[in-house]
Amino acid sequence: FIVIALLQILSGNITFDTIQFADQKQEFNKRPSKIGRRSLSRSISQSSTDSYSSAASYTDSSDDETSPRDKQQKNSKGNGDFCIKNIKQADFGRREIEIAEQEMPALMALRKRAQGEKPLAGAKVVGCTHITAQTAVLMETLSALGAQCRWAACNIYSTQNEVAAALAEGGFSVFAWKGESEDDFWWCIDRCVNVEGWQPNMILDDGGDLTHWIYKKYPNMFKKIKGIVEESVTGVHRLYQLSKAGKLCVPAMNVNDSVTKQKFDNLYCCRESILDGLKRTTDVMFGGKQVVVCGYGEVGKGCCAALKAMGSIVYVTEIDPICALQACMDGFRLVKLNEVMRQVDIVITCTGNKNVVVRENLDRMKNGCIVCNMGHSNTEIDVASLRTPELTWERVRSQVDHVIWPDGKRIVLLAEGRLLNLSCSTVPTFVLSITATTQALALIELYNAPEGRYKQDVYLLPKKMDEYVASLHLPTFDAHLTELTDEQAKYLGLNKNGPFKPNYYRYENL
Kindly tell me if the per-residue pLDDT of 23 is higher than 50: no
Alpha helices in 28-156 (DSSP H): 34-45, 55-62, 90-102, 105-113, 133-144
Mean pLDDT, residues 262-271: 84
300 is in an annotated binding site: yes
Percent of the chain at pLDDT above 90?
69
132 is in an annotated binding site: yes
Give CA–CA dist 304/315, Å, rounded: 8
Kindly tell me if the per-residue pLDDT of 509 is higher than 50: yes
CB 274 within 8 A of CB 302: yes
Q: For 302-316, 332-346, 417-431, 446-460, which range has the lowest pLDDT when averaged over its residues?
A: 417-431
Give CA–CA dist 348/163, Å, rounded: 29
- DSSP characters over 209-247: HHHHHHHHH-GGGGGT--EEEE-SHHHHHHHHHHHHTT-
Kindly tell me if the per-residue pLDDT of 204 is higher than 60: yes
297 is in an annotated binding site: yes
Alpha helices in 125-229 (DSSP H): 133-144, 161-169, 182-193, 209-217
What pLDDT was estimated at residue 508?
Answer: 64
Give CA–CA dist 33/67, Å, rounded: 10
The pLDDT confidence band at residue 404, using thresholds 50, 70 and 90, is very high
Mean pLDDT, residues 374-401: 92
Give CA–CA dist 73/70, Å, rounded: 10
Beta-strand runs (E) in 309-399 = 313-317, 333-334, 346-349, 370-373, 392-397
170 is in an annotated binding site: no
211 is in an annotated binding site: no
Task: Tell me the helices (H) and strands (E) count for the chain, helix number first.
Answer: 21, 15
What sign results for the dihedral spanned by CA atoms 386, 388, 391, 395?
A: positive
The pLDDT confidence band at residue 52, using thresholds 50, 70 and 90, is very low
Q: For 156-160, 198-202, 360-364, which range has the lowest pLDDT when averaged over its residues?
A: 156-160
Give CA–CA dist 348/316, Å, rounded: 10
Mean pLDDT, residues 8-33: 48
101 is in an annotated binding site: no
What pLDDT was estimated at residue 78?
Answer: 94
Give CA–CA dist 9/94, Å, rounded: 35
Give CA–CA dist 209/448, Å, rounded: 25
Give CA–CA dist 326/271, Å, rounded: 17
Task: State the DSSP H helix or E strand holding residue 429, giving kind and residue range, or none if neither.
Answer: helix 429-448
Kindly tell me if the per-residue pLDDT of 323 is higher than 80: yes
Q: For 27-31, 367-371, 465-469, 472-476, which range has the lowest pLDDT when averaged over its residues?
A: 27-31
What pLDDT was estimated at residue 39?
Answer: 39
CB 3 within 8 A of CB 447: no
206 is in an annotated binding site: yes
CB 12 within 8 A of CB 127: no
Residue 389: other Cβ atoms inside 10 A: 5
Q: Read off the pLDDT of residues 439-456 as tens digits, 9 standing for 90 and up.
A: 999 999 999 999 889 999
DSSP code of residue 508: P
301 is in an annotated binding site: yes
417 is in an annotated binding site: no
Show the domains of the chain with their CATH numbers. Answer: 73-261+428-469 (3.40.50.1480), 266-424 (3.40.50.720)
CB 149 within 8 A of CB 139: yes
- DSSP characters over 445-488: HHHHPPTTSS-SSEEEPPHHHHHHHHHHHGGGGT--PPPPPHHH
CB 235 within 8 A of CB 404: no
The pLDDT confidence band at residue 189, using thresholds 50, 70 and 90, is very high
Kindly tell me if the per-residue pLDDT of 30 is higher than 60: no
Q: Which residues pair with 252 in a beta bridge?
A: 228, 458
* Alpha carbon separation from 466 to 69, 252, 259, 270 (Å, rounded): 41, 17, 7, 20
The whole-model pTM stands at 0.78
DSSP code of residue 249: -
CB 188 within 8 A of CB 201: no
Q: In terms of Cα–Cα distance, which of 184, 117, 112, 174 is closest to 146? A: 117
Kindly tell me if the per-residue pLDDT of 232 is higher than 60: yes
What pLDDT was estimated at residue 60?
Answer: 39
Give CA–CA dist 125/4, Å, rounded: 21
416 is in an annotated binding site: no
Q: For 185-194, 344-353, 495-504, which range has the lowest pLDDT when averaged over its residues?
A: 495-504
298 is in an annotated binding site: yes
